[in-house]
Structure 1
Amino acid sequence: MTGTIPHHSPAHPLLLQPVAYDHADARRLTQALHQEQVDLYGFADDPRTTPSSLFRAPNGLFLVARRGPVALGCGGVRHLQSGPAEIKRMYVIPAARGTGAGQAILRALEEAARQWGAGRIILETGARNHAALALYTKAGYARIEPYAAGRDPQINRALSKRLQDRRTSDDPER
């Protein structure tokens, strides 16, 4: 990425844009995420092997966060057959961390899951990804047992959060 990131201002608000998972900005951001994971752990799941269909409506969404013309971050959510929604490929470029972009992406993905009727949302992140762990903990996520087969709990952290239905929060099983 070249140039500078426009500062938060009315002239450069943070915009969340739904895009196809194979959109050029989504690919560039998920490849940057992949490289960071490889640098940190020595290996990582290749985001190119994730089918674009996982993030297609009506049960999927992929967002790119922009400030002005600059793509700052991304994230996807998909509604699983078993009931919960799963967040995948959350990433914010290093220069934009701490600006609220990650929080905005996370809130938007949670809201999409809520609208689908998901009562719970799950995700995985790396045990050494302290910034992501802090973001998720602050947003109310708690550690759970791994939900993906073959994951090493020394490397991966599975997290979950109950979603309250905005229309009616009386049913805790939603």
Structure 2
Amino acid sequence: MHGVTTDETSRRRIVFRVLGVGWDDERARVLREAMSEEVGRLYADRGHEAGSRALSIQEDSVLYTGLAVTGDGQGIGHIALRRLRSDVEIKRMYVRPGYRGVGVAGALVDAVEQFARDHGERRIVLATGDRQPEAVGLYRKAGFTPIEIYPPYVHLGKHSKAFAKLLA
């Protein structure tokens, strides 16, 4: 999947593509670490333990890891899809701050949805925090609808928002 977009603020042209990579890809690992640091700061007042449980992921449950890269191969965005009971779940959605708002996140969501469809999945679910309105907006725009919070995030209660999308 490819993307070319113009950043309307700076008028710079951003060329990127989304690749399927291994979970252990170094660029993917670096982006996951950056996400963990950012989310850790965002929710620091709520305690580290709850956030750590919500962000944990077993590598063997990962079905797809998508990486948005620039023309020179720099990792600028990350998304993963894992098996969660009878559904698949988006995890570790992250775009580097300098590349937000220019289509990278939408391309990552499109790539993960295409992977899920290609593999016969019927529904994608996801959970995000209440301090991430941009993420909520992205998922709603992509056709995800609110659902009840589901395990393993029930312990986060009112601080979590959950969404699902049925796939054709």
TM-score, normalised by the number of residues in structure 1:
0.79
Structure 1 residue 93: deviation in Å? 0.7
How many positions carry a matched residue from both structures?
150
Per the alignment, residue 163 of structure 2 pairs with 159
Whose helix fraction is larger, Structure 1's or Structure 2's?
A: 2
Per the alignment, residue 38 of structure 1 pairs with 40
Write the letter of the residue equivalent to 2:52: D
CA–CA separation in structure 1 for the residues paired with 2:16 and 2:54: 25
Structure 1 residue 161: deviation in Å? 0.9
The structure 1 residue matched to 2:108, chosen from 105, 108, 117, is: 105
The structure 2 residue matched to 1:75, chosen from 66, 72, 79, is: 79
Contact 1:74 1:92 in 2 (8 A): yes
The structure 2 residue matched to 1:62, chosen from 60, 65, 69, is: 65
Whose strand fraction is larger, Structure 1's or Structure 2's?
A: 2
Structure 1 residue 48: deviation in Å? 8.9
Cα 1:49–1:88 change in 2 (3 A) is closer
Structure 1 residue 156: deviation in Å? 1.2
CA–CA separation in structure 2 for the residues paired with 1:81 and 1:50: 14
- 2:98 matched to 1:91? no
CA–CA separation in structure 2 for the residues paired with 1:51 and 1:152: 19
- 2:132 matched to 1:122? no
Report the aligned-residue RMSD: 1.9
Contact 2:55 2:92 in 1 (8 A): no
Unaligned stretches of 5+ residues in structure 2: 1-11
Q: Percent identity?
A: 33
The structure 1 residue matched to 2:146, chosen from 131, 143, 146, is: 143
Structure 1 residue 102: deviation in Å? 0.2
CA–CA separation in structure 1 for the residues paired with 2:124 and 2:54: 20
Write the letter of the residue equivalent to 1:161: K
CA–CA separation in structure 1 for the residues paired with 2:82 and 2:71: 27
Per the alignment, residue 172 of structure 1 pairs with none
Structure 1 residue 147: deviation in Å? 1.2
Larger relative contact order (Cα-Cα within 8 Å, sequence gap ≥ 6): 2
Report the secondary structure of 1:18's partner residue. strand
Unaligned stretches of 5+ residues in structure 1: 1-6, 165-174
